[in-house]
Chain A
Amino acid sequence: MIRAIASTRFRTFALVFAITAAVLYVVCDFAALPMFTYHPGTGRIDPGFAPARRDEGPAMYWYGWIATSALGASLTGFAAAILPERITAKIPLSLAWLAPIALLPFLIYSLKFYWRWS
C-alpha cells in the first residue's frame, strides 16, 4: 500500500518535473533568468543575469538556466506530489513527450540570430 502511494507520488513528481522543467527552461532562455552567470574566461560566477564584462570574454547562461529550471521544476513537482491522486491522475502522461515537441519552435526562434545567410 505504502509502496503504491510512493510510486503514485513519484509518478506525479516525475511527470510535473518533466513538463515544468521544459517550460521553465524556455522561459529562462527568453526572459534571461539564469540562477547564475558563468564567465569562462576568468572563472567568475555572478548571481542571476550578468552581461559579459569588458576584456573578460563571453558570459555563459546555459548552466544558470538549467539550475533555475531544475529548482523551479523540483518545487512544482513536490507541490504536485502532495496533491490528492484524484487531481493528479488527470494530468495527461502524454504531456511528458508533447511538451518538448511543442517547445521546439520557440527554441528555434530563440536562436534566430543564427538562421541567416551571412
Chain B
Amino acid sequence: MDFVLDYVSLTTLWSMLSITHALLAVALIGALTHQAVAVLAPVRQGGTTGFIRRFRSVCGPGYTSAVCLLWILTVFLGGWIYAKYRIYVRIPIEQQGFLKTEGAFELKEHLTAIGLGLLPIYWYLWNNSGESRYDSARKWLTVVMAAICWYAFLIGHVLNNVRGFGS
C-alpha cells in the first residue's frame, strides 16, 4: 500500500477507506432493507401501485449473494480501519468522555462479527426460497440482519460525526 502514499497523504488514504466502507454499508443497508420489507410485508395480488408497493415487491433471492459479498467486504474494510480507530479515534473520544458513544460502537463491532457467522445459513435459506418450511426462519433472520445493519450504520455515522473524516 506504500505506493499509494506517493499520491495521497496518509490522512486522505484513511478518509478514502472510511468513505468506501460507508458506501459499501449504504449498498448493504439498501439491499437488506428491501429484502426485509419484502418478507415482512409481501405484496399481494391487486391493490394500488406506488413507491411503497414497488419497494416491497422486489425479488428477495436476487439480493442474497450481493448481501453476503457486501457484508464480508464491509466487515473486512471496517476491520482494517478498526486498527487505526483504536489508536487515533477511540483514545481521544475516551479522553473527551464520550463513553456511551464508544460503548455503542463496540457493540456494533460485536454485532457485525456475529452477523458474519449468520451468512452461511442466510445464504442457504434464501437459495432455497421455494421451500415454504423455511419461510419463518428466512423472514426473521433477514429482519435480524437488517436490524444489525441499521444499528451498525447509524452508530458508524454518529462516530464519524464525533471524530471521523479528516481527524
Please give the residue numbers on chain A whose beta carbons come within 8 Å of chain B beta carbons, in ascending order: 7, 10-11, 13-15, 17-18, 21-22, 25, 29, 38, 40-41, 57-58, 60, 62-63, 65-66, 69-70, 73, 93-94, 96-97, 100-101, 103-104, 107-108, 110-111, 113-116, 118
Contact = CB atoms under 8 A, between A and B. Distances in A.
Contacts of A118: 97, 99
Contact of B121 (A14, A60, A104): A14
B157 interface: no
Interface stretch (B41-49, B56-64, B79-87): B79-87
A3 to B, nearest CB: 12
Interface residues of B, number: 39
A114 B106 contact: yes
A22 B144 contact: no
A114 B137 contact: no
B55 interface: no
B9 to A, nearest CB: 20
Given A40-B83, A116-B99, A108 B107 contact: yes
B114 A25 contact: yes
A14 B141 CA distance: 13
A77 to B, nearest CB: 8
What is the interface of chain A mostly: helix, strand, loop, or mixed?
helix
Given A40-B84, A58-B86, A63-B79, A97 B117 contact: no
Nearest to A99: B114
Contacts of A101: 144
Contacts of B120: 10, 13-14, 17-18
26 contacts: A7-B128, A11-B121, A15-B121, A17-B120, A18-B117, A18-B118, A21-B117, A21-B118, A22-B114, A25-B113, A29-B110, A40-B83, A40-B84, A41-B87, A73-B117, A93-B134, A97-B118, A97-B141, A97-B143, A97-B144, A100-B115, A100-B118, A107-B110, A114-B99, A114-B100, A115-B103
B87 A58 contact: yes
Given A96-B118, A113-B99, 11 more contacts: A17-B121, A18-B117, A21-B114, A22-B117, A41-B87, A60-B86, A63-B79, A97-B140, A101-B144, A111-B106, A116-B99
